[in-house]
Structure 1
Amino acid sequence: MLKSTLTQWQIFNSVIDNGGYLRASAKLNRSHSSLHHAIHKLQTQLGVELIYVEGKQLKLTAVGEVMRRRSLQLLADAEELEELASFAQQGWEPELTIALESMFPKTILTTVLEQFHTKGKGTRLKIDSVILNGAVEAIHAASADLVITPIAPKGHLGTPLTTVRMLPLAHRDHPLVTANAPVDTRELSRFLQIVISDGTDEEKHTEFGWLKSEQRWTVSDFHHARDILISGMGFCWLPENLFTEEIRTGLLRPINGREGLERYVTLHLVVPRPERLGPAGQMLAQLFRSSRSL
């Protein structure tokens, strides 16, 4: 059994905060003698002296200084615990799951998460990275509370959040990059193409972008594709925002095409079951919608 109670620590800190028993008694609406008794009992139960009187001032002992710091944290934790119970009573979700398309800009995501962290009232977040039809599966199965997806399936409303530019990239020494003249799609088809696949059910299987190369390797994410390109093999359409450093240093370079080879992908916010979304989920969804101005 614990030797002390939260009430005793509240009284202890109130006496210190108010500079003595008289002001603390008025603050707590309790008698002077009851507070004095509570502090005396607390020190007796713990077997240590916490405060002493010097002249007309109440001072903390060395042990009292340590106990005050720890007790303040203890009281803050207790208040937070009761607050969480209150939020749960209001329907505030203890945990939310986000299915996040992996090309979603990290700068926007970080801003949204920072805002939610300050307002989320202890709600935990689980973020699952998905690609293409992986987001659609999360919507159909309602396995996530919020889904960021490039594909808004029929029957679900999507809010456009941002548009990602996809560039056809290859290693700086690749023939498609070093060519003296812009290449056309016929020339592209003669080289190894790295394709991003969502790895979902075959009937719903989706591969990204132009698929006319005679040789194709399929990988499960953009970073696997990047590693292959850096080795000097193949070309691939990759999100510009994920590989700005490789592009800036010239390690990977866009292929100069006679036709417009850039692709643009709009990412949407979809709430699979809006009727089940509680206060925390609604707030997080609004933070994502507000991110459109970032």
Structure 2
Amino acid sequence: MAVVDMGSYARAAEALHKTQSSVSYAIQRIEDQLDVPVFRIEGRRAVLTQAGGVLYRRGRALIEQAGRLEETAARLGAGVEAELGLGAEILYPTWLLLQCLETFAGSFPDTRIELYETVLGGGEELLEQGQVDLAICSRVPSGFVGDPLMQVRFIAVAAPSHPLHHLGRELTMDDLSQHRHLFVRDSGSRRERSGGWEVTEHRWTVSHKATSIRAACMGLGFAWFAEDIIRDELNDGSLLPLPLAQGGERWGNLYLAYADPDGAGPATRQLGALLREATAANQLGGNP
């Protein structure tokens, strides 16, 4: 793996703090034991054979699993986690998340929280990269297990001053296509999903939900927002639902997923339980 990642035997030896001859000998032993050529030499470069590529991918998976096993053992041996990584999709109500963290701090005052606020694929990547212990995400990545946490109702809105509110009739998607659509950028590096719902080429894409909401309140565009995150704007009339004949309301789902359910420490488990309980109570009782 080091030879592939570093690009040569010499650089791999340097990264591993070994001699180049010991790295070369180790590769030779692997090839002899497995009876398959792993590398072929092209000029000064070691290039994976087809079989070597398969073994490299399998080997990386094994080393990552071994790393997770060591991390699990360390957490179990240490007892309460000193630090807890939490990924939270921006669709999840901020006030509810902070309430849960406040309650959590009462039981685990010495556990530091690293909160990552994510959009679309960002939560999945944090889990895959092992940067968080727990994630509220819009999709559970392959290889992980997540439980449904809540349904999210999206509504199409714009400021009262927006021209769409002054057409005096029900709106169609053709009406929307003439105006600017506001998006929040996928925080994942792959950005495989746009969030859907593209109805026009006129769009602004921003990085934070607060920026998107502010732009909508200023009449700079329309958007589908999660109802819970624009509750104040709806109540004070800064944003009004668009009178769409179809598609004014849409639904999505959020999931709660552990990076390692078996190895999760007491603090991670407690925070997960708090999030589930608070979310269920909020959906039954409504927002404050």
Shorter-chain TM range is: 0.5 to 0.7
Cα offset for 1:197? 1.5
1:103 aligns with one of 91, 94, 98: 91
What are the Cα deviations for residues 37-65 of structure 1, in whole angstroms up to 9, with x where unaligned?
Answer: xxxxxxxxxxxxxxxxxxxxxxxxxxxxx
Is 1:167 the counterpart of 2:162? The answer is no
User: CA separation in 1, counterparts of 2:270 and 2:89?
Assistant: 20
Is 1:280 the counterpart of 2:249? The answer is no
1:209 aligns with one of 190, 193, 196: 196
User: CA separation in 1, counterparts of 2:153 and 2:180?
Assistant: 22
Q: Which amino acid aligns with 1:268?
A: Y
Cα offset for 1:131? 1.1
1:289 aligns with one of 264, 273, 276: 276
Structure 1, unaligned runs of 5 or more:
1-86
2:213 aligns with one of 223, 226, 247: 226
User: CA separation in 1, counterparts of 2:142 and 2:77?
Assistant: 35
Q: Is the 8 A contact 1:168 1:261 kept in 2?
A: yes
User: CA separation in 2, counterparts of 1:228 and 1:280?
Assistant: 38
Q: Which amino acid aligns with 1:132?
A: L
Structure 2, unaligned runs of 5 or more:
1-74, 282-288
Indicate the SS of the match to 1:152.
Answer: coil
Is 1:268 the counterpart of 2:255? The answer is yes
User: CA separation in 1, counterparts of 2:233 and 2:280?
Assistant: 27
Cα offset for 1:268? 0.9
Larger radius of gyration: 1
Q: Is the 8 A contact 1:97 1:144 kept in 2?
A: yes
Fraction of identical pairs, as percent: 29
Q: Is the 8 A contact 1:161 1:291 kept in 2?
A: no
Q: Is the 8 A contact 2:155 2:226 kept in 1?
A: yes
Match of 1:115 in 2: 103
Match of 1:242 in 2: 229
What are the Cα deviations for residues 72-126 of structure 1, in whole angstroms up to 9, with x where unaligned?
Answer: xxxxxxxxxxxxxxx9965211110101111211343233223312222522212
Q: How many correspondences in the alignment?
A: 207
Match of 2:62 in 1: none
Indicate the SS of the match to 1:111.
Answer: helix
User: CA separation in 2, counterparts of 1:153 and 1:244?
Assistant: 30
- Judged with a 3 Å threshold, the aligned counterparts in structure 2 of structure 1 residues 121 and 235 are, in CA distance, closer, same or farther, namely closer
Q: Is the 8 A contact 2:124 2:137 kept in 1?
A: yes
Match of 2:140 in 1: 152
TM-score where L is the length of structure 1: 0.65
Match of 2:126 in 1: 138
User: CA separation in 2, counterparts of 1:88 and 1:259?
Assistant: 52
Q: Which amino acid aligns with 1:96?
A: L
Q: Is the 8 A contact 1:197 1:206 kept in 2?
A: no
Q: Is the 8 A contact 1:196 1:222 kept in 2?
A: yes
Cα offset for 1:260? 3.0
Q: Is the 8 A contact 1:142 1:273 kept in 2?
A: no
Q: Is the 8 A contact 1:166 1:239 kept in 2?
A: yes
TM-score where L is the length of structure 2: 0.66
Moved over 4 A (4+): 87-90
Q: Is the 8 A contact 1:92 1:280 kept in 2?
A: yes
